[in-house]
Amino acid sequence: MQDPKTRMTEIWNTLYPDSETLKLTQFIEKLEAVKQSMSFPERDDGWFKDAIVYSLYVDLFNNDFPGLEQKLDYLQELGVNCLWLLPILDSPGKDAGFDISDYRGIRPDLLGLPGGASHEEKINVFARFLEKAHKKKIRIIFDIAINHTSDQHAWFRESRKSKDNPYHNYYIWADDDKGYADARIIFEGLCESNWEKDGDQYFFHRFFEFQPDLNYRNPEVLLAMADNMVYWLKLGVDGFRADAIPYLWKEEGTDCENRPLTHTVVKFFRAVLDFVRPQTLLLAEACQKPFEVVKYFGDGDECHAGYHFPLMPQMFKALHMQSSKPVSEVLSKEITPDIPEGSQWFTFLRCHDELSLELVYVTEEDRKYIHDNYCKKPEWDFRLGQGVAARLSELLDKQPDKIALAYAMMLSLPGTPVIYYGDEFGKLNDDDYYREMIKLTGKDDTRFLVRGSLNWELIDKELNNMNSFSSKVFNRVSKLINTRKNYPTFGRGKLEMLNIQRADGEILEEVMGYYRIYSSKRILILLNLSEEMQVIQLPFSKLKSYEKDMLGQKVKVDEENGTLSIPPLGYYWFYV
Cβ contacts of residue 529 below 8 Å, gap of 6+? Answer: 318, 319, 321, 322, 323, 324, 405, 510, 511, 512, 569
DSSP H helices in 38-104: 58-62, 65-70, 72-78
Tallying the residues shown for the chain, one arrives at 576
Catalytic residue among 64, 143, 196, 285: 285
Within 10 angstroms of residue 15's Cβ, the number of other Cβ atoms is 18
Are 446 and 379 spatial neighbours (Cβ–Cβ below 8 Å)? yes
| Pick from 212, 219, 170, 174: nearest CA to 191 | 212
How far is Cα 199 from Cα 222, in angstroms, rounded to an integer?
27
The CA-atom distances, in angstroms, between 190 and each of 38, 447, 448 are 45, 12, 14
Are 464 and 455 spatial neighbours (Cβ–Cβ below 8 Å)? no
Identity of the amino acid at 17: P
How far is Cα 253 from Cα 310, in angstroms, rounded to an integer?
27
3-state secondary structure of 484: helix
DSSP class of residue 541 equals: G
Are 298 and 263 spatial neighbours (Cβ–Cβ below 8 Å)? yes
Within 10 angstroms of residue 127's Cβ, the number of other Cβ atoms is 14
Identify the sign of the CA torsion 5, 11, 14, 17: negative
How far is Cα 442 from Cα 20, in angstroms, rounded to an integer?
45
Catalytic residue among 151, 213, 243, 510: 243
Based on its alpha-carbon atoms, the radius of gyration of the chain, rounded to whole angstroms, reads: 24
SS (H, E, C) 277-307: CCCCEEEECCCCCHHHHHHHHCCCCCCCEEE
Pairing mode, if any, of strands 53-56 and 305-307?
unpaired
Are 457 and 67 spatial neighbours (Cβ–Cβ below 8 Å)? no
The CA-atom distances, in angstroms, between 238 and each of 177, 241, 253, 266, 277 are 40, 10, 38, 18, 9
How far is Cα 17 from Cα 10, in angstroms, rounded to an integer?
10
How far is Cα 110 from Cα 556, in angstroms, rounded to an integer?
50
**Residue 530's beta-bridge partner residues?**
none
Are 13 and 25 spatial neighbours (Cβ–Cβ below 8 Å)? no
Q: Is 10 an annotated catalytic residue? A: no
Q: Is 285 an annotated catalytic residue? A: yes
Report, as residue numbers or ranges, the catalytic residues. Answer: 243, 285
